[in-house]
Structure 1
Amino acid sequence: MIFCSWSGGKDSCLALYYGIKTFGKVDLLFTMLHEDCDRSRAHGIKKELFKNQASSLKIPWHFECATWDDYEKVFLNFLDNYAKGGIGIFGDIDLEEHRNWVERVCMQKSVRVFEPLWKKDREKILKEFVDLGFKALVVAVSKKFPHAKVLLGKSLSCETIELIKSLRIDICGENGEYHTFVYDGPIFEKPVQFKVLDIVETETSWLLDLRG
């Protein structure tokens, strides 16, 4: 079993792209949703849109729901039931703490970790994503970086990359500055259809309310 840890955003999508190139296939997309089982926690993407992404990618999608407190337990149960002895694809770039966590939990279930973006130049990652023909929308911005709210609703492009650089935040959003929703690209059969209904404000973020 080869699975991709799937946030629906640019980094997991590019990691998936490399996973398909490296292994020839990916068997499953896996997403951890908020405990209400309606949206993903950081990106705020609704369940229906993950289903639509998976349908266009022609890869089955599986989700689990968890609080922060039981996140690791739920993740380990997923590995035990679906991926034991297999391969997990992750889109980490250089957050050592998260990679260490991934390797620790995966090792418990004999899952090999594949991190194709690890230590790559951040700007090159974004430009490669755009140059390959992927399409993504900024759907979440953290309130820790209020000056970055200007990114909300923008499509990733060369112009947007320059804007991100001018804001003096992490260009890939590795500190949670912003998150994206990928809706088209070379591994998608067709664009994922969606519409923006509103901007939702939470305690920590501004989110676009997307519906399929």
Structure 2
Amino acid sequence: MSRPRALISWSSGKDSAFALHEVRRAEEYDVVGALTTVTETFDRVSIHGVRHEILRAQCEAAGLPQRIVPIPYPCPNDVYETRMGETVAAAVRDGITHMIFGDLFLADIRAYRENRLAGTGITPVFPLWDRPTPALAREMIACGLQAFLATVDLKKLPAEFAGRRFDAQLLADLPQGIDPCGENGEFHTCVVAGPVFSHALPVETGERVIRDGYAYCDLVLTPSATRHRAQAVR
């Protein structure tokens, strides 16, 4: 019996990676692609600021074709919704019936997704919903998931947290009141290894940039990895 075809809403971060891990373990859906919004101005994953080349390497390691939603910077909400709507309609034409999200507990975000997908033919799925985040963060680390903090909200964390690894030491160092999964927007991550990948990504931390109230750590694939990928596509 064939399983329903699904897309994973892929942010490049740990929550979407762990949601994919849980869905693959359950074997309820056939995940056939990764949907990501990419800011055209910077050619980076929206909000996370992760380079497109790392996003591409992530999807290759996860065995997922990319479905990119290009958006401008800044992006008016009507433009975002139009372009996302076009992408959803294309997915429906391809026989996709579900979309998987890594949301944890923000009810307004979940309601927005449910409302926007209502009547489209796509059903949203939230495999991590309402799981206690302290235990969830530890479970992510224990399963072998490795990630860097790519973006930090400076209203909630010092800039020095950008570029740090998402590990047990980070959890111990987070100030009181900061969600260990960053679900309130305290930080966003970039996954470089884990059970959903066929291999770890050789990523290094680069320059830290402050912009619009956020600290971004520029993560880069090592030169040897970039050369190897270029040779592979010749």
TM-score tier after normalising by the smaller chain length: over 0.9
Match of 1:63, SS state, is: strand
8 A contact 1:148–1:167 mirrored in 2: no
- List aligned pairs for 1:142-161, cutoff 5 A: 142-145=153-156, 147-161=157-171
Q: 1:24 to 1:99 in 2, by over 3 A?
A: closer
8 A contact 1:32–1:40 mirrored in 2: yes
Could you list the per-position Cα deviations for residues 182-207 of structure 1 after superposition, in whole angstroms to 9, with x for gaps in the alignment? 00011211111222231122112110
TM-score of the aligned structures, taking structure 1 as reference length: 0.92
Of 92, 99, 102 in structure 1, the residue corresponding to residue 110 of structure 2 is 99
Amino acid at match of 1:203: D
8 A contact 2:45–2:55 mirrored in 1: no
Work out whether 1:188 is the aligned partner of 2:193: no
Could you list the per-position Cα deviations for residues 151-193 of structure 1 after superposition, in whole angstroms to 9, with x for gaps in the alignment? 22211112211112x3431222122111111000112111112
Amino acid at match of 2:110: R
**How many pairs were matched up?**
210
Of 53, 63, 80 in structure 1, the residue corresponding to residue 89 of structure 2 is 80
Q: 1:20 to 1:68 in 2, by over 3 A?
A: farther
Match of 1:27, SS state, is: strand
Q: How far apart in 2 are the matches of 1:200 and 1:150?
A: 11
Instruction: State the identity as a percent.
Output: 26
- List aligned pairs for 1:131-142, cutoff 5 A: 131-142=142-153
Q: How far apart in 2 are the matches of 1:156 and 1:43?
A: 14
Q: 1:192 to 1:77 in 2, by over 3 A?
A: same
Match of 2:226 in 1: none
Q: How far apart in 2 are the matches of 1:171 and 1:115?
A: 19
Q: For structure 1, which runs of at least 5 residues remain unmatched after alignment?
A: none
Match of 2:59 in 1: 54
Match of 1:171 in 2: 180
Q: For structure 2, which runs of at least 5 residues remain unmatched after alignment?
A: 222-234
Match of 1:79, SS state, is: helix
Q: How far apart in 1 are the matches of 2:113 and 2:145?
A: 26
- Runs of 4 or more, structure 1, over 3 Å off, are none
Match of 1:20 in 2: 24
Report the RMSD for the aligned CA atoms in angstroms: 1.6
Of the two, which has the highest radius of gyration? 2
Q: 1:38 to 1:88 in 2, by over 3 A?
A: same
Match of 2:131 in 1: 120
